[in-house]
Every structure is written in C-alpha cells, then in structure tokens.
C-alpha cells in the first residue's frame, strides 16, 4: 500500500464505526467486499459532508482519499454489505432488486451522536447485480453529487454526497465511458421496497426486526410507545407525513424525481437515488423529465398522486405489523392512507404561502396559487425566476410591476394576477421589507438546471473538474444574490429547453 493510501486509511480508521447494517445481517443485508477499481484518482471532495462525519478535511485532502473511497483499501473496522430489497417499477412488481452497484462499507456515529450509513455507489458487483457490471459512470455520479447537494442547500431532505473518485477503467453503456465511484451518506438507506420484498416473499417474521431497527434508530419517541401494534401504527403515520412533506418540498421548487419507484422511496422521507431528475425551467405541470417514462407516470403534476400509490404498497407490506387480525389490519391501513392527502395538502400550501410571502391563511389561497401556476403555464414562464422576481415587487399598487411581469409574454395577465396578490397582502401583518426578505429566503435564485449539470459533466469528461466545484459552491447558497454568478441564474439557452434524461443518467 502506498504512503498516500496509508495516510488516508488512518483518517477513516479513527471514525467511530458501528456497522448497524452488518449487525442486522440476513435476510436484509449481505456481506459484500467492493471490487478493486483500477488506478483510482480523486475528483471532488465535499468538506460540508466530511464535517458531518467528523473527518479532518484538511488532513484527508492532503493525504488523498481515492484508495479508501474507491473501496480498494478499507479500514478493518468496516463491514461492507449490500442491501436486499424489492420494488414496484412504473407500477409493476419487479421482484427482488437490491443494491446492484452500491455497497455500504459501514456506519459511523459522530461526536454529536448522529449515525450515518456510508455507501460507495459504483463499487462493483453484488448478489443483486443480476447481469450488470456493478459500476457507475462519471456523468451519473456527477449528477447525483450535484443534485443531492443542491437539494440539501434548499433545505430538502436528501442523501448527501461526500466525494467522487474516478478511474480510466472503461465502462460500457451506450458508449464507452470512464468508471467513477460516488460516496454518499444517509442516516439510513432503508426503502419501501425493503419491506415489500419481505411481504411479497411471505417472510412475515422478518418484518418486525427490520421495523424495530428503523424505529429504534430513527424514531426514538415512537420506540417508547407501549404496545407493538400501536407503535407500528404510529410509525406508519410518521412515514406518511415525512413522504407528504418531501413531495411538497419537491413541488415547491419545481423538482421532478423522474423515477418514483417504490425501491427509490425512503422510509425516512429522504430524496433517494438520483437518476433522470430535473429542476423545471419553463413551467409545465405535465413536465416529464425522464424520456423513458413514455406514459408520464412520474410527471411533475403526478408526483403527489404517486406518493400515495407508493405508500399504498408500503402500508400493504407492513399490514402484518398493524394487527394480528387481517381485517383489522386492512382497516387500520386504509386509515393510514387517508391521512396522506390531508398531510400533503397542508405541507404544500404552507410552502406555497411562504413563496408568496403570506403569513396567515385564507380559504381562497389555493385559488391564488393555482391561478398563478395557470398563468405561468400559459406562457411557459420560468418556474424559479418567476417566484424569485415576485419577491422583488413592492406590495404598493402604485409601484412598478417589474420585474415580475417581465417573466411573462402576456404581461396583462401577469399584471392582473399581481393585483390580486397585492390585495391579498393587505391582510398580511408584516411590513413590506420583512415580507420581501422572507420571500428571498424561500424562493431560490439558483437551482441545478439540467444544462448547468451537463456543462459540468462535459468538462469532467475532458478531465477538468473545476466546474463541478464552481457549481457546487454556487448552489451551496441558492438564496443569495451572488451577483458575480448572475449568468447561472439566467434563462437556459434554447438548445437546453425541455432537456430530458433517461434512466441511465
């Protein structure tokens, strides 16, 4: 082992490895050593996420991290595993899936008592790779690295990205590409599909141990509830509320996940598994960011409905935990699902009122929101820029309508809606300056538009990783003006409008 690898090994070896997944073991997690990545080299390292793990970022950067975070040289305290789960993909039960190209090298607990699962995506074959090679390519890990960090900066629950390691080893997709490994972390990567596979395979006795593990680690108040059935019901309610809140977050920033299969849904309400995701440019409620999704199952306006459908599969999987009597379990499960619509509607309107600078509640607020979105859709107004511009408009009816109406072709329609908004603000107690500041901190100026991500990928393919670092630095502060980076907030070029991706992205 080289001196560089030895130094880095020491930095990671001193972490407090607790390896929760390995301790849980089969049938949920299976031991799996990463496959060696030829001649790995560092690409990017995220100091923000390193701090969550109590890593000395300066020491790691100085020593290098490629040998550890490629999976080539792991500390002895690590116990790598692959996670078994199933899932419904595009509404069809796909059977056993599992971590086909991702390996959790272990779990650590930091000095603040927070535990994180550390996973290498692209680390080689696992028992669940089927006929795939277990590798990831540079373009896909760059997109996940930037996407997850962009959502985190927006305050949206997500997995986080620690680093990207590259290799010149060829990976065969539509073309020959370079291999890469991304390190991501999360409090847990357990999914709806983790429970589905047990239910579908009639491994009912394995449901409670996994549920108890999740509840005990992540929901301590629920863990204290006496009575197993009552405890599992309370947990089901919490999963529903977290899922509703997450999807409301997505809708409020114009984010499309692209592949909301049940194996991509987190029981902690995290944004999980970035594939053909996208932040909307021109507002289109029916926008499909994944060209593989020919039927529009996962279009922007369908995400709240799919959330309910996916929760239906999750609740079905945990029915044996809700009651020993099947009929009673079904009745409880139906009650759980009825909770979702109320939870989502409340979360969504809370976010949309904030985007409009409203601090109180009126019965017709939903109409005000919907009519704005209809006006935006009619013109294809840019989602991010329109809401940001609204925050720069005075509540005074005598003031200029710019810059808000400048985002629309039909300026009269935009002005008519703006007049209604100003009338609504009359009932808002806070002063106009305070309202504008609240809106600035709610409506981002910078989001990860697809063309910006593609520009970073194109440069990375040529060996220039500076745009990844630059874009990440901008997206870390999405609500700040950053006038020196104004070009990153402009409308996308014509060639980038409507850019969509596939499941291989």
Residue 100, annotated as binding a ligand: yes
User: Measured in whole angstroms, how far is the alpha carbon of residue 488 from the centre of its chain?
Assistant: 22
Contact present, 67 and 176 (Cβ < 8 Å): no
Q: How many CB atoms lie within 10 A of CB 496?
A: 15
CA distances from 161 to 17, 111, 158 (A): 19, 20, 10
Residues ≥6 apart with Cβ < 8 Å to 485: 446, 474
Residue 184, annotated as binding a ligand: yes
Contact present, 124 and 171 (Cβ < 8 Å): no
Residue 98, annotated as binding a ligand: yes
Taking 3-state DSSP, the helix, strand and coil percentages for the chain, each rounded to the nearest 5, stand at 50, 15, 40
Q: Say if residue 405 is exposed, middle or buried (CB neighbours under 10 Å; 0-12, 13-18, 19+).
A: buried
| Distance in angstroms (rounded) separating the CA atoms of residues 464 and 451 | 17
Would you call 263 a catalytic residue per the annotation? yes
| Distance in angstroms (rounded) separating the CA atoms of residues 372 and 480 | 24
Task: Determine if residue 309 is left, alpha or beta; phi over 0 gives left, psi from -120 to 50 gives alpha, anything else beta.
Answer: alpha
Residue (of 147, 144, 146, 154) closest to 445 by Cα position = 154
DSSP classification of residue 203: -
| Distance in angstroms (rounded) separating the CA atoms of residues 407 and 389 | 8
Q: Indicate the helix (H) or strand (E) that contains 31.
A: strand 29-31
CA distances from 112 to 16, 52, 59, 295 (A): 11, 9, 21, 46
| Distance in angstroms (rounded) separating the CA atoms of residues 397 and 486 | 29
Residue 264, annotated as binding a ligand: yes
Residue 101, annotated as binding a ligand: yes
Report residue 218 as tokens: 């992540």
Instruction: Provide the H-helix boundaries in 219-325.
Output: 220-223, 228-253, 303-317, 319-322
Contact present, 235 and 162 (Cβ < 8 Å): no
- Which residue's entry shows tokens 């079905």? 316
Catalytic residue among 263, 281, 293, 382: 263
Q: Which residues are catalytic?
A: 263
Binding residues for ATP are 98, 100-101, 121, 133-134, 184, 191, 273
Binding residues for Mg(2+) are 264, 273
């Amino acid at each position: 082992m080289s001196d560089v690898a030895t130094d880095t090994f020491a930095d990671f070896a001193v972490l407090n490895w607790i390896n929760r997944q390995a301790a849980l073991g089969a049938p949920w997690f299976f031991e799996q050593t990463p496959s060696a990545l030829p001649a790995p080299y560092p690409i990017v390292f995220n100091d923000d996420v390193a701090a969550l793990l109590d890593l000395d970022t300066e020491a790691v950067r100085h020593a290098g991290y490629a040998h550890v975070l490629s999976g080539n040289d792991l500390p002895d305290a690590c116990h790598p595993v692959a996670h078994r789960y199933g899932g419904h993909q595009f509404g069809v039960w796909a059977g056993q899936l599992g971590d086909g190209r991702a390996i959790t090298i272990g779990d650590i607990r930091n000095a603040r008592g927070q535990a994180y699962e550390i996973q290498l995506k692209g680390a080689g074959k696992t028992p669940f790779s089927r006929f795939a090679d277990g590798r990831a390519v540079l373009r896909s890990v760059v997109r996940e690295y930037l996407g997850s960090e962009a959502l985190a900066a927006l305050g949206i629950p997500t997995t986080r990205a620690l680093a990207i390691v590259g290799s010149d080893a060829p990976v065969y997709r539509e073309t020959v590409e370079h291999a890469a490994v991304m390190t991501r972390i999360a409090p847990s990567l357990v999914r709806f599909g983790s429970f589905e596979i047990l239910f579908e395979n009639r491994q009912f006795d394995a449901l409670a141990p996994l549920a108890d593990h999740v509840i005990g680690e992540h929901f301590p108040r629920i863990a204290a509830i006496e009575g197993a059935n009552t405890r599992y019901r309370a947990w089901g309610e919490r999963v529903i509320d977290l899922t509703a809140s997450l999807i409301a977050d997505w809708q409020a920033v114009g984010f499309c996940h692209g592949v909301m299969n049940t194996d991509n849904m987190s029981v902690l309400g995290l944004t999980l598994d970035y594939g053909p995701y996208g932040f909307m440019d021109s507002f289109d409620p029916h926008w499909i960011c994944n060209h593989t999704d020919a039927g529009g199952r996962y279009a922007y306006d369908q995400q709240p409905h799919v959330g309910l459908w996916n929760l239906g599969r999750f609740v079905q999987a945990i029915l044996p935990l809700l009651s020993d009597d099947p009929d009673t379990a079904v009745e409880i499960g139906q009650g759980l699902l009825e909770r979702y619509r109320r939870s989502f509607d409340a979360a969504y309107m809370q976010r949309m009122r904030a985007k409009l600078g409203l601090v109180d509640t009126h019965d017709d607020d939903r109409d005000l929101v919907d009519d704005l979105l209809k006006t935006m859709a009619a013109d294809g107004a840019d989602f991010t820029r329109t809401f940001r511009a609204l925050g720069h408009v005075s509540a005074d009816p005598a003031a200029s309508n710019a810059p808000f109406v400048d985002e629309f072709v039909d300026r009269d329609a935009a002005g008519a809606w703006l007049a209604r908004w100003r009338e609504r603000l009359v009932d808002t107690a806070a002063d106009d300056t305070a309202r504008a500041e609240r809106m600035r901190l709610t409506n981002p100026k910078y989001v990860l538009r697809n063309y910006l991500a593609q520009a970073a990928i194109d440069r990375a393919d040529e060996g220039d990783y500076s745009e990844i670092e630059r874009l990440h630095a901008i997206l870390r502060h999405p609500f700040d003006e950053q006038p020196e980076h104004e070009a990153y907030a402009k409308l996308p070029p014509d060639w980038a409008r409507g850019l969509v991706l596939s499941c291989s992205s």
